[in-house]
Amino acid sequence: MTRIKRGTTSLKRRRNILSQVKGFRYGRSTKERQAREAIAHAGNIAFAHRRDKKNDRRRMWTVQINAMLHAIGMSYSKFIGALKKAEIEIDRKILSQIAQENPETFARIVEKVK
């Protein structure tokens, strides 16, 4: 029988794991077991922060709309309530873009809602 040298798969797997933790500090960047743990925790945190980022954006849109509304002389909560009563379905992202880029269009939307 011919000799079979093993270890190529496990070495490849180890190299892959260690390449994912490049730039981490201490044993997390050099030791396979610590690196696996670091990858798992980093993945969990990345998932949670992607959700947080969406939440932060929505808050920012609300603040921008509120700022424009106060300049016009209306509060955010009354505006959103009036939008729903008027059955105008524009989401907050689009409203904040309109408020920033086309203030006159935003003012017309507010007048229509009043």
3-state SS, residue 78: helix
- Do residues 79 and 65 lie in contact, with contact meaning Cβ atoms separated by under 8 Å? yes
CA distances from 37 to 20, 29, 82 (A): 12, 11, 51
User: Band of the pLDDT at 7, cuts 50, 70, 90?
Assistant: confident
- Do residues 89 and 109 lie in contact, with contact meaning Cβ atoms separated by under 8 Å? no
List the domains of the chain with CATH numbers. 10-113 (1.10.1900.20)
CA dist 40 and 20 (Å) reads 11
- Do residues 94 and 62 lie in contact, with contact meaning Cβ atoms separated by under 8 Å? no
pTM passes above 0.75: no
pLDDT one-digit tens code per residue, 69-111: 999 999 999 999 999 999 999 999 999 999 999 999 999 999 9
pLDDT one-digit tens code per residue, 46-63: 999 999 999 999 999 999
